[in-house]
Amino acid sequence: MSQPPEGAVELMTLDELTKRVGMSVRNVRFYTTKGLVPPPIRRGRRGYYSSEHLVRLELVRELQAHGFTLAAIEGYMARIPHDASPETIALHRTLLAPWMADMPETVTRKELDRRAGRRLDDEDLRTLNALGIVFPTKQGRFQVAVAHLSVGVALLDLGLPQEAALAAQKVFTAHGQAIAEELTDLFKEQVWPAYKEQGISAEQVREMVERFKPVSVAALVAAYETAVDEMKRETVARRAR
């Protein structure tokens, strides 16, 4: 990595930056003109880039991978303070990282049936679509949340009506969104400041979040089971009275 004589911050040339972040020179310059990353640091006639440029570009790439439009990316990046540290920006990327072990895949109808373990008719596909598991795309292909497909097929085999599937999905989505927002706020307001005081690196925070994912999922399942059991006890008690 190149390091000009002036200043104590480790700097990169444009070529070094593009290799690190996996972007073209053209894209880096485009995002700079859009204000998504700061201008290069000038040392005489040459421009250099720091870790701040790197983590901001990595965050832009993460947002693109999640399907954000350019306007949405600009809006997201605008909410990050200009003086945010590379560690803080890396935290944003960590929180964006997908929680599902398997990302959605695009498959043919034949492959979809094979993974489902049986032939899926049009009504099955509509129900799986209502559950947010299978989505038709162009040219007769389907985008599938592979990790959830077996659960969706099991619900089909139980004869779950499409209307009930859609209503259940709305409940899951509403409560899932609320939980996600509250846990994210909790992390930003209580966990992250405490880690910053301890001098924990962004990589250590990322590792902690990865370990927290299965714990949080297990805790949500346990809380749901406890709530259902409590509801059944209350129902029995009311009938007894």
Q: What is the CATH number of the domain that holds 83?
A: 1.10.1660.10
Whether residue 18 is contained in a domain is answered as yes
Number of domains, the chain: 3
The per-type count for the chain, helices as H runs and strands as E runs, is 11, 5
The confidence score (pLDDT) of residue 7 equals 47
Strand partners, 105: 144
Same domain, 110 and 146: yes
Please indicate, yes or no, whether residues 231 and 182 belong to a single structural domain of this protein. Answer: yes
pLDDT value of residue 102: 57
**Do 181 and 211 belong to one domain?**
yes
User: Is residue 80 domain-shared with residue 110, that is, in the same domain?
Assistant: no
Amino acid in position 157: D
Is residue 174 located within the same domain as residue 234?
Answer: yes
Structural domain of 70 = 14-96
Residues 6+ apart with CB under 8 A from 79: none
* Within a domain: 2: no
- Residues in the chain predicted with pLDDT less than 50, given as ranges, are 1-7
**Do 74 and 114 belong to one domain?**
no
Per-residue pLDDT at 195: 77
Domain-terminating residue out of 163, 181, 211: 163
Q: Has residue 5 been placed in a domain?
A: no
Residues 182 and 226 in one domain: yes
Is 4 part of any domain? no
**173 and 111 together in one domain:** no
- Which is it for strands 46-48 and 134-136: parallel, antiparallel or unpaired? unpaired
- Which pLDDT belongs to residue 116? 93
Q: Name, in order, each residue with C-beta under 8 angstroms of 50's C-beta and a sequence gap of 6 or more.
A: 9, 10, 11, 12, 41
Q: What is the pLDDT of residue 4?
A: 45
Tell whether 169 and 159 lie within a shared domain: no
Widest CA span in the chain: 85
Q: Does residue 157 sit in the same domain as residue 180?
A: no
Q: Using CA atoms, how far apart are residues 151 and 149, in angstroms rounded to an integer?
A: 5
Q: Are residues 18 and 92 in the same domain?
A: yes
> For residue 100, what pLDDT is reported?
55
In a domain, 6, yes or no: no
pTM over 0.75? The answer is no
- What strands, in cross-sheet order, belong to the sheet with 105-107? 105-107, 142-144, 134-136
Within a domain: residue 1?
Answer: no
184 and 135 fall within a common domain: no
Within a domain: 3 = no
Last residue of a domain, one of 163, 189, 212: 163
65 found inside a domain: yes
Domain boundary pick from 163, 183, 198: 163
